[in-house]
């Protein structure tokens, strides 16, 4: 998934169709010169609908769609004939897409299942024809309802990636290297911060043809929750992960301190993230001997599961997969 193709934010004007007007009409047949009212109802205006598609991973196909317009419903006619409904516009989106009102920032809903359909902007209702207004004292009503107008609003769609494991760490902690080691994903890797500018997904193979999905999320820096660095643009992707895998390199000045800074950024962004299962992996552990590993282990929180890994030598990678699988399938 190249950076140019991964789009996780779009904003567009959504306009639903207006409802058709109800008809004012009376039966006029050869032997019924004064037939009653038979004006039909107007058709409903077209909806703007979001539909989940598990095969999509990005909002790229909506990037240049600045206006989404549904058609109007048709007017009713005689013989109690209703007008045709306006044609709905269905926008397919990846699972994990959140719809928001661009003016207020209010969250409208989230698409989480394949094939799930939700009305984003409802079309206007069609007006009732004069046939509906006939009463005992008014046998020939000469009025009908106009159709309701459509709705025009600005909408924001944000994508939260769906993955079993979300990699959390500072820039250059080795997240991309780990993902490329355990899966077929090939993220850009280099020895400088913010190599990863877009989230990457990888399917990690496990024993007996089992698998789970891991997401490499761009590195967090201190102050990310306030928008520093890449800021909260990518923090939202972590919300959809079942397990948070914190990655801290063995050559860090203080592994425990670095872990707590990362944890604090997640807490400031969304305290509910701390309810997720957490796992700490100390990367680049080929630099450590057993004595240093024991010292580091003693300094870490006792309740925190941790392991030592090296994506270069393969040290601890099998153990890491075993731990993750047990956490996903308790």
Residue-wise pLDDT tens digits, 50-104: 999 988 878 888 988 999 999 999 999 988 899 999 999 999 998 889 999 999 9
Q: Are 6 and 60 in contact (CB under 8 A)?
A: yes
CB-based burial of residue 15 (10 Å sphere; 0-12 exposed, 13-18 middle, 19+ buried)? Answer: buried
- Sequence spans of domains, the chain: 1-159, 163-328
Q: Which CATH entry fits the domain spanning 1-159: 3.30.360.10, 2.70.210.12, 2.60.40.1180, 1.10.3720.10?
A: 2.70.210.12
The neighbouring-strand residues paired with 212 are: 204
The pLDDT assigned to 199 comes to: 65
CATH of 163-328, one of 3.40.50.620, 3.30.465.10, 3.30.200.20, 3.40.50.300: 3.40.50.300
Token pair listed for 179: 């993902």
Decide if 144 contacts 128 (C-beta within 8 A): yes
According to the model, what pLDDT value does residue 187 have? 43
Residue 70 C-beta-side C-alpha neighbours within 13 Å:
34
CA–CA distance, 264 with 222 (Å, rounded to integer)? 9
Q: What is the pTM of this model?
A: 0.65
Instruction: Note the Cα 216 to chain centre separation in Å.
Output: 17
What are the pLDDT digits (tens) for 130-171? 989 988 888 889 999 999 999 999 999 988 766 788 888 887
From CA 203, how far away is CA 187, in angstroms rounded? 13
Q: What tokens appear for 238 in the block?
A: 């972590």
SS3 259: helix
6 token code pair: 């991964």
């Amino acid at each position: 998934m190249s950076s140019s193709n991964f789009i996780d934010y779009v904003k567009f004007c959504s306009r639903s169709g207006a409802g058709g007007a109800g008809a004012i009409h009376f039966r006029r047949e050869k032997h019924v010169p004064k037939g009653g009212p038979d004006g039909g109802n107007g058709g409903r205006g077209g909806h703007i609908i979001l539909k989940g598609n598990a095969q999509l991973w990005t909002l790229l196909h909506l990037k240049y769609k600045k206006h989404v317009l549904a058609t109007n419903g048709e007017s009713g006619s005689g013989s109690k004939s209703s007008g045709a409904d306006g044609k709905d516009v269905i926008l397919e989106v990846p699972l994990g897409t959140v719809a928001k009102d661009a003016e207020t920032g209010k969250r409208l809903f989230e698409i989480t299942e394949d094939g799930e359909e939700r009305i984003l902007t409802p079309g206007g209702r069609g007006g009732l024809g004069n046939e509906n207004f006939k009463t005992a004292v008014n046998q020939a009503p000469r009025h009908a309802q106009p159709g309701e107008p459509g709705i025009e609003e600005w909408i924001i769609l944000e994508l939260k990636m769906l993955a079993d494991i979300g990699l959390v760490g500072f820039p250059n902690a080795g997240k991309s290297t780990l993902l490329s080691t355990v899966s077929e994903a090939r993220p850009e890797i280099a020895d400088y911060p913010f190599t990863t500018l877009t989230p990457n997904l990888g399917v990690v193979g496990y024993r007996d043809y089992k698998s789970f999905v891991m997401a490499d999320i761009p590195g967090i820096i201190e102050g990310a929750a306030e928008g520093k660095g890449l800021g909260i643009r990518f923090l939202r992707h972590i919300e959809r992960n079942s397990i948070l895998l914190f990655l801290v390199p063995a050559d860090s000045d203080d592994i425990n301190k670095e872990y707590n800074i990362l944890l604090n950024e997640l807490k400031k962004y969304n305290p509910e993230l701390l309810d997720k299962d957490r796992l700490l992996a100390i990367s680049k552990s080929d630099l450590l001997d057993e004595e240093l590993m024991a010292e580091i282990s003693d300094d870490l929180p006792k309740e925190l599961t941790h392991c030592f890994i090296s994506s270069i030598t393969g040290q601890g990678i099998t153990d890491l997969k075993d731990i993750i699988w047990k956490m996903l399938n308790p």
